[in-house]
Amino acid sequence: MGNESLSFDEARALVEGFAALVREPEKEHVALLDADGRVLAEELRADRDFPPFHRATRDGFAVRAADTATLPSKLRVIGEIAAGHAREIALNAGEAAEIMTGAPLPDGADGVVMVEYTRRDGEFVVLDRAMRAGENFVPRGAEARAGDLLLEARERLNPAAIAIAASVGKASLAVFRRPVAAILATGDELVEVGENPLPAQIRNSNGYSIAAQVRRAGGDPMVLPIVRDHEDAIRSAVSSAKSADLLILSGGVSMGKYDLVEQVLASEGAQFRMTGAKIQPGKPIVFGTLPREYGDLPFFGLPGNPISTMVTFDLFVAPVLAALGGAKDAPLRFAHAKIAEDFKVAPGLTRFLPAVLASSAAETRVSVVPWHGSGDLAAVVKANCYLVVPPDAAVLAKDSMVSVLLKD
């Protein structure tokens, strides 16, 4: 069944390599505001210079630097320029124009003296501070020239990108279609959210946590009914998911008597690319593709324990889902901090443990959240990051610098 027990770095490289080969999805046009969070499917270029004029960045007086060489300088005010109300004013020697932030500089001016360094004297302004040419304005075209590339295709759009699109007059945008992720939770112990579980049963939290992660990663979740630990039931459910762009299974991938997912996938002709990674939590993760008439269906088999499911999604599912949605990548975000207490662990696995990152003006520290295994949802709710423990580490000494994986 392909490679087994890959290191974390090997496993991550494997899914990134797969993601790099994913075919570009279909495009569609959506209204500008509806494009937030979507993946751009076109280039955005400046339709004019930005700014389109020398733009004042302070309230004050537009002047010529040469007229401020001797202080105090007394200049005749020949007009006022407000933002959005350009006036045909040209400064000659000894003249100034009152100007507001965002307004265009008049011809002849080469800077703005802030209002707090001036005094009005009838039709004159008295300057108490010299000005260098270029002060307090942004030159025309400093941000972009007409035709410059502002956003590349395959960028995920955020509020700043929406603002750029609006600034170049795009009322709608071409974006890539969201990938559909079929989510299949397996297990005889599971019941639906609205049901009252028996003493040996639990509610299906994984189906909903995965769906939420899919949405945050730019996909559309398709939550399928719970599947019992029976080969025919799993096979039928897998068959019903083949219209999706990605299949995510939860549970049934360990070594127990009723962990049947791998053998069902194998019987369906699956090509396994990964059947285990040297990580905690999430060691039994499975990744591969299933054959179908119109191109292989990528799938992930995630462990059934809730923290394992969430961690392995972030580590391995997210980059594939991003690629299926047309995005360039889904990089992991790491930071460094001092660990707040000694921490001991058995070496051999790369561990991603729920933790809390706290910052002050002086330092950033991370503390491991006490947890009772990868089914402890209460622990992961308290966490805002994961402490990353390298596979060769046995002790992380208090106040030593450690790596943390930031949560979305």
pLDDT (mean) for 127-133 = 94
Distance, CA of 264 to CA of 245 (rounded, Å): 19
Residue 11: CB atoms within 10 A of its CB come to 25
Nearest CA among 284, 306, 355, 318 for reference residue 213: 318
Asked if residue 314 has pLDDT above 90, the reply is yes
pLDDT tens figures, 206-243: 999 999 999 999 999 999 999 998 899 999 999 999 99
Residue 163, C-beta contacts closer than 8 angstroms, at least 6 positions apart:
none
Taking CA atoms, 126 is separated from 57, 71, 183, in Å, by 20, 9, 71
The predicted pLDDT at position 374 comes to 67
The predicted pLDDT at position 2 comes to 46
Asked if residue 258 has pLDDT above 50, the reply is no
- Options 3.30.950.10, 3.40.50.10470, 3.40.50.300, 3.90.105.10; which CATH number does 31-49+143-176 get? 3.90.105.10
pLDDT (mean) for 14-38 = 96
Nearest CA among 97, 103, 90 for reference residue 75: 97
Mean residue pLDDT of the chain comes to: 93
The pair of structure tokens assigned to 112 is 């703005």
Domain ranges within the chain, ordered by starting residue? 8-26+178-324, 31-49+143-176, 55-138, 334-406
pLDDT (mean) for 387-394 = 95
Distance, CA of 187 to CA of 16 (rounded, Å): 30
Cβ atoms of 122 and 63 closer than 8 Å: no
Asked if residue 294 has pLDDT above 90, the reply is no
Distance, CA of 268 to CA of 239 (rounded, Å): 9
CA dihedral of residues 187, 192, 198, 199 (deg, nearest 10): 60
Strands (E), 265-340: 271-275, 279-280, 286-290, 297-302, 334-339
More confident residue, 2 or 67: 67
pTM (two decimals)? 0.86
Cβ atoms of 174 and 27 closer than 8 Å: yes
- Could you check whether the bond before residue 52 is cis, i.e. omega within 30 degrees of 0? no
Distance, CA of 27 to CA of 19 (rounded, Å): 18
Distance, CA of 57 to CA of 46 (rounded, Å): 21
The predicted pLDDT at position 87 comes to 74
CA angle 36, 42, 46 (to 5 degrees): 90
pLDDT tens figures, 183-207: 999 988 888 888 998 898 888 889 9
DSSP 34: G
Strands (E), 129-171: 137-138, 149-151
Structurally, what CATH architecture does the domain formed by 8-26+178-324 represent?
A: 3-Layer(aba) Sandwich (3.40)
Query: For residue 211, which phi and psi values (nearest 5 degrees)?
Result: -60, -40
Q: For the chain, what percent of residues have pLDDT higher than 70? A: 97
Asked if residue 65 has pLDDT above 80, the reply is yes
The pair of structure tokens assigned to 351 is 């561990």
Query: For residue 175, which phi and psi values (nearest 5 degrees)?
Result: -130, 165
Name the CATH superfamily for 334-406.
MoeA, C-terminal, domain IV (2.40.340.10)
Residue 206: CB atoms within 10 A of its CB come to 29
- Residue 188 parent element (H or E): none
The pair of structure tokens assigned to 40 is 């751009």
Distance, CA of 156 to CA of 326 (rounded, Å): 9
Distance, CA of 325 to CA of 330 (rounded, Å): 11
Query: For residue 235, which phi and psi values (nearest 5 degrees)?
Result: -60, -45
Find tokens 């992380």 and name the residue.
396
pLDDT tens figures, 74-122: 999 999 999 998 778 999 999 999 999 999 999 999 999 999 999 999 9
The sign of the CA dihedral 188, 193, 196, 197 is: positive
Pairing of strands 401-406, 385-389: antiparallel
Name the CATH superfamily for 55-138.
Molybdopterin biosynthesis moea protein, domain 3. (2.170.190.11)
14-39 exposure pattern, b = at least 16 Cβ within 10 A, e = fewer: bbbebbeebeebeeeeeeeeebeebb
CA angle 222, 245, 261 (to 5 degrees): 75
